[in-house]
Copies of this chain bind each other. A is one copy, B any other.
Amino acid sequence: MSTTIDMAESSNAHVNEKAALIGAPARPGGWKKGIAIMDFVLRLGAIAASLAATITMATSDQILPFFTQFLQFEASYDSFSTFQFFVIAMAFVGGYLVLSLPFSIVTIIRPHAPGPRLFLIILDTVFLTLATASGASAAAMVSLAHNGNQDSNWLAICNQFGDFCAQTSGAVVASFITVVVLMVLVVMSALALGKH
């Protein structure tokens, strides 16, 4: 009789393990583990995107091949305070995402404990805002560098500094990927917290 019970239990555990792997709701709460694993994987993607944004922006530097007696024409990210803010903010976001990995692992091990998820969703929201602010302000500057503005007599600089513009645009795209992933992380955490 006891053997039968053991077998039933082990088969149940097997089903549960499988459910966690494919993310299917085999029993109530099994899908929470699936969400926790997806959270971890998405977090790795966000780390890659945020570090790519930071490094691409921080290495953007172009010196034009012509110069006058007194002047050399150079564009680098630290010419623009918005781009400096971008580098610092995205480095913070990347650092936070790395430090949040252990908490994401805790939610995989204990998918039903609300504590680590609450901690993650609150900090994710804060760093989502930071990443959005830096990405959007850098996007405004990149768009200005591309198009200029007639009324205020700001000329487009991308004709001269083509490589610089391409590199900063790439960094902005990477920061927007980080923002989208962070939004998905917040929504997933909210779903896992809300359903029982």
Contacts and interface: CB of A to CB of B under 8 A. Distances in A.
A114 interface: yes
A118 B187 CA distance: 9
Interface of A: 74-75, 79-82, 114-115, 117-118, 121-122, 125-126, 128-129, 132-141, 143-145, 147, 149-155, 157, 179, 183, 186-187, 189-191, 193-196
The count of identical subunits is 2
Given A132-B136, A195-B114, A151 B190 contact: no
B190 A121 contact: yes
Contacts of A137: 136-137, 139-140
Given A136-B137, A190-B118, A79 B151 contact: yes
Given A82-B140, A126-B183, A136-B136, A152 B117 contact: no
A137 B125 CA distance: 19
16 contacts: A80-B151, A81-B143, A81-B147, A82-B143, A115-B194, A121-B194, A122-B190, A125-B125, A129-B179, A132-B132, A133-B133, A144-B154, A152-B154, A153-B155, A154-B155, A190-B190
Contacts of A196: 114
A8 to B, nearest CB: 30
A187 B125 contact: yes
